[in-house]
Amino acid sequence: MDLAVAILLVLLNLASWCTCSDSRLLVKMTLVPNASKIGGFCLDGSLPAYHLHRGFGAGARNWLLQFEGGGWCNDILSCLERAQTRRGSTLYMNKLEDFNGILSNNASLNPDFYNWNRVKLRYCDGGSFSGDAKFDNGTSVLYFRGKKIWEAIILDLLPKGLMHARKALLSGCSAGGLSSFLHCENFARILPRNTSVKCLSDAGFFMDERDVTLNHTMRNFFENLVSLQGIEENLNKNCTSFLNNPKLCMFPQYFLKYITTPFFILNTAYDVYQFHHALVPPSADTRGHWNRCKLNIASCNTRQLDILQDFRQDMLVALLSSRIYSRRGGMFINSCFAHCQSESQDTWFALDSPQIHSKTIAEAVGDWYFSRNTSKLIDCAYPCGTSCHNIVA
């Protein structure tokens, strides 16, 4: 091979790499300076932020808002620690966010929402954008102002075109998926009556389920979260007035029936986060009997698989009691061991994406939003789901 050919090959390889790099859609962060006027601060007192990529063409007046996820903090120590990370402060966040999956601007990768105005709301309050309290002991200060952050971002987006939206979709993943449940009705009230408003939760259907030692690990966690961050006043009023324990209205299964805005639930029946933290938290498995099962489903014994199947069945029963089975509701409940499927391209819409009845998640959500077809898809129980992208083997 002569020198000229060698140089040409090197240049072609570089060009190919640059094309791949340039194909990523990196969207700049926008801080919300006016948030300080209504007390909308991150845990550490920094300003909240979002990333906006403008729509175009037929989608120029349509809006998709995506809540970022990332767990919660339900005591002072964990919140102080969180305040020093990207989960509690915009100071530590990446200033560029990679938009793919449901946020992609590529029609071949996101056929129904690629040309919409797409917004990612950064998560820095640790309470699913729902708290309204403050901790100050004279030494440390923590702002539990998730509700104010939500309000500040909406106020910032309205004059940028959101107030004229023709179609709108509020979405989110994990703790952000819970935010979508919690704020769906409020989002619909904010926008004009002639706007087609719908909501979607990805991996946000957190269950009030006993763990394997019959303790209410997740319930106790959420109760402490609601108390610490002053969330109870912001929960669904129909739910809180009905239940003896209003803090339980943090769980979607108790208030979903009161959501009148069309809603789509995207969830795995064996959600890995709930499997590892709610059903079999470390406190319930101190001797590590579940360690191998958590790492590799094929290593689960018969009893462990039965417990996982019972969890799936409890989820389906909880969904059955909600409005999600109504004509306007939609769902995609697959039998994967995963968590969050809308923000990653490989699970949202790709050749090997998870499917139910030959339909991908993107197709199911699009069919539901645009009323093209009924989208209530539930996969058969594990070991169904041959198209899964499992987090565990």
Catalytic residue annotation: 174, 271, 339
CB-side neighbour CA atoms (13 Å) of 372: 9
- Using an 8 Å Cβ cutoff, are 327 and 284 in contact? no
Q: Distance from CA of residue 18 to its chain's centroid? A: 31
Helix/strand/coil (H/E/C) assignment for every residue in 39-105: CCCCCCCCCCEEEEECCCHHHCCEEEEEECCCCCCCCHHHHHHHCCCCCCCHHHCCCEEECCHHHCC
* 8-state DSSP, 118: E
Q: In 10 A of CB 296, how many CB atoms?
A: 13
- Using an 8 Å Cβ cutoff, are 209 and 316 in contact? no
- Using an 8 Å Cβ cutoff, are 191 and 165 in contact? yes
- Using an 8 Å Cβ cutoff, are 47 and 33 in contact? yes
Q: Which amino acid is at 225?
A: L
The candidate with the shortest Cα–Cα distance to 55, out of 64, 66, 43, 67, is: 64
Which residues on neighbouring strands pair with residue 267, listed in sequence order? 333
Pairing of strands 330-334, 26-31: unpaired
Sequence-ordered strand ranges (E) for the chain: 26-31, 49-53, 62-67, 96-98, 117-121, 133-136, 141-144, 167-172, 196-202, 263-268, 330-334, 355-356, 359-360, 376-378
Could you give the CA distance from residue 123 to residue 235 in angstroms, rounded to a whole number?
19
Q: Which amino acid is at 243?
A: L
341: which 2 tokens? Answer: 């499927």
Sequence-ordered strand ranges (E) for 244-358: 263-268, 330-334, 355-356
146-157 vs 175-190: helix crossing angle, rounded to 10: 50
